[in-house]
Structure 1
Amino acid sequence: MTTEHGPGKRGAMRDDAAKEALRGELRAGRSPRADESREAEPSGEDQPETDRAPGTTLTGGTPPGMGADDVELRNELARHLGISVYPAERDAVLRTLRGNNAPDRLVDLAARLPAGHTFGNVQDIMRALGLGTEQRRT
């Protein structure tokens, strides 16, 4: 009798190991295939270009009040800070960024935060830095 653990038949630990192996291949920036004939080929020159929303303009991904750079910065800050840091003051934000090996530009940006102020989330941090924040429609 076999017991299944985790989402697959192999078990959670093996699933995690497989995810790590795949993550490395994706980060390599090159094909993981040794045999080029197995590589997916791009569309030919005579093929039409694909359009995710034919006949329309894609809007989204950038909420009102923010630019694309603001969204990217907010996501990067959130990724390096996590949610367990909140509520946090400037020193806790800096400590967490350094502890999570955040890029120097994020640490330098967080160093500009006002001391003695408590931030409830990444939006509060963005607002305190004078950067674009999401504006809710009423």
Structure 2
Amino acid sequence: MPEHGRDKISPIRDDEIASEMSGELNANRSTRAQEEHELQPPGEDQPENDRAPGTTLTGGTPTGITAEGVELRSALARHLGRGLYPADRSAVLATLRANHAPDRLLELARRLPEGESYGNVQAIADALGLGGEERRT
């Protein structure tokens, strides 16, 4: 049974919605009876969307960490969960194995020093040399 997280729709209602939408999802054409209800693409004279007007969007990698570091830290967080901490090297490895983490995360966690306790994923990332965001004060 799939998890719904914070979604307040039940699995039964999900099935009802899927049944109602199946015609629209499977049709390779418009399903609206009146053309004015169709979604319209942006016009040629309309500007492109930009999150920061007047600047170049460069991505989401913060200063002080690489894109690979962000990806690895995110993957570690996903496979370790929140209930693990504080944790030592063996607890981190056991949790990664129990959660079927990829081999690259297991190899990374094996580099953690013995006898240390980690309070969160950032502490693990720091111990592995993945870097972290530089905080402004």
Following superposition, the deviation at residue 49 of structure 1 comes to 7.3
Residue 48 of structure 2 aligns with which residue?
A: 50
Most deviating of 108-117 and 54-63: 54-63
Deviation at 1:66, TM superposition (A): 0.7
Aligned equivalents of 1:70 and 1:20: distance in 2?
37
Q: Which 5+ residue runs of structure 2 have no aligned equivalent?
A: 1-5, 16-23, 32-37
Q: Summarize the Cα distance change of 1:78–1:35 in structure 2 as closer, same or farther, 3 Å threshold.
A: same
User: Over aligned residues, Cα RMSD in angstroms?
Assistant: 3.4
Q: String of CA shifts for 1:88-136, please: whole Å, max 9, x gaps.
A: 0011001111111111111111111111111111111111111222222
Report which stretch shifted further, 61-70 or 93-102: 61-70
Is 1:120–2:119 an aligned residue pair? yes
The structure with the larger Rg is 2
1 CA distance for matches of 2:14 and 2:101? Answer: 20
Q: Does 1:34 align with 2:32?
A: no
Displacement of 1:63 in angstroms is: 2.1
- CA distance in structure 1 between the partners assigned to 2:65 and 2:13 by the alignment: 33
Per the normalisation by structure 2, the TM-score is 0.66
Identical positions, percent: 51
Gaps of at least 5 residues in structure 1 are: 1-6, 22-31
Query: Which structure 2 residues correspond to residues 124-135 of structure 1 after superposition, within 5 A?
Result: 124-135=123-134
Cα distance in 2 between the residues matched to 1:20 and 1:131: 40
**Counterpart residue type for residue 61 of structure 1:** G
1:19 deviates by 9.4
The Cα offsets for residues 57-105 of structure 1, whole Å up to 9 and x where unpaired, read as: 2356322211222112111111111111011001100111111111111
Q: Per-residue CA shift, 1:2-54, capped at 9, x if unaligned? A: xxxxx98xxx5xx2527987xxxxxxxxxx9322225999969x687733244
Find the aligned partners of 1:20 and 1:102 in 2 and give their Cα distance. 30
Number of residues paired by the alignment? 117
Please give the alpha-carbon distance, in whole angstroms, between the structure 2 residues aligned to 1:63 and 1:19.
40
| TM-score using structure 1 length | 0.66
